[in-house]
Every structure is written in structure tokens, then in C-alpha cells.
Amino acid sequence: MRNTCDPGPALLPIALLCLLTGPLAAAQAPRQQPAQPMEHLVVHNHQPLLVPDGALQPALEIRLYPDPANGFNLELLVANYQLESPQLAGDAPPGLLEGHAHLMINGKKRIRLYGQWQHLDKSLFKPGINQLTVTLNSHQHYTWVTGRQPILATVFVDPDKQPAVQHQFASHPLPESPHTNR
């Protein structure tokens, strides 16, 4: 069985060219303007959007709790970000980004999240390991990016194991601050 990470002999010259020119090209590229889409960092079919200079840097973590009746309850912990429905857009304090979040389960976008809590029915999960990823998004559905990294958090869960959460990761974890909604 061939390793899926192996580019194979036919693609090796292209892979080497990308490895050799990628950092050089990035170093020579002009600085991206604030709040402009960055097409080369597409996340789950949503174009990236650079957090503007002067804006507070959003942070995101997620927690997953077994629901006693069915499935799990997902908690979004955000800092420096106004998580809301598009109908409430435009009321964020200066320097604070606003938008919603997208939940992907096993690579498929499932739900838009407008608040801190969401129930996830057990029918959303397959047997074995499942990957849940949440991204912060503008109301135009761009994925917010800072430091060339999308703002996202991921949990790997196996509904049939105890504890169910097997691993978790956040690209921009929460600082300990009064702006954190814990």
C-alpha cells in the first residue's frame, strides 16, 4: 500500500520546486492589506480574511461534553470576538471583530454557530474517531486568519470511548483575560 503523503516520482520535481520556492516567494510577496481575502489559505471552501491591523486578535477554544440524553454539547470559548447572528451585525465595539462560526464534522460543514453552546445529535457522528473543527468567520463567510493561520479549534472524539475526547487543538488558544467568555 502506497503512503498517501508520498508524492510519487512523477510529482517529485513539482514538490521540490514548491519546497524550494515557497518560502522565497512568501518572503518576496508584498504585505497583504488588512481585511483582504487571502486566496492561498482557503479553509473548507471559505476564503481567508486577514484580521486587520489595530483589531484585537481573536482567540478560540472548544469543549465537548457528553449529553446525558443523546450526543454531545459543544461549547465555544472565544476572546476578543463578538460571536453573533448576521442580523445583529454592525454593533461591535471599535477594534473587536464580529461574525459567526462554522462547525465541520469529519471535513463536512454541518452548522453555523451564532452562540456559545450547540447540541450535537449522536446521528452526526460515525463509529470510531470523529474530527470536529470550528472556525471563526466573518458574516461574508470568510475565515478569519491571523499570523497566516486560520482561527480554528479542533477536537477528536470517539463517542464509544471514555473519555470520548481523545485530542484537542487550538490555533489561537484563549489568553487568561477579562474578555474571555468562560
Query: Cell 452562540 identifies what position?
Result: 115
Q: What is the pTM of this model?
A: 0.72
pLDDT tens track for 79-92: 999 999 999 988 89
Give the pairing type, strands 97-105 and 143-146: unpaired
Query: Cell 487571502 identifies what position?
Result: 38
Distance CA 103, CA 118 (A): 10
pLDDT tens track for 42-75: 444 568 999 999 999 999 999 999 999 999 999 9
> Residue 50 has what pLDDT?
95
Q: What is the fold, at CATH topology level, of the domain defined by 39-170?
A: Immunoglobulin-like (2.60.40)
Closest residue by Cα to residue 118 from 104, 139, 138? 104
**Are the beta carbons of 16 and 30 closer than 8 angstroms?**
no
- List the domain boundaries for the chain: 39-170
pLDDT tens track for 134-168: 999 999 989 999 988 999 999 999 999 999 999 99
Angle 92-96-98 from CA coordinates, rounded to 5° = 60
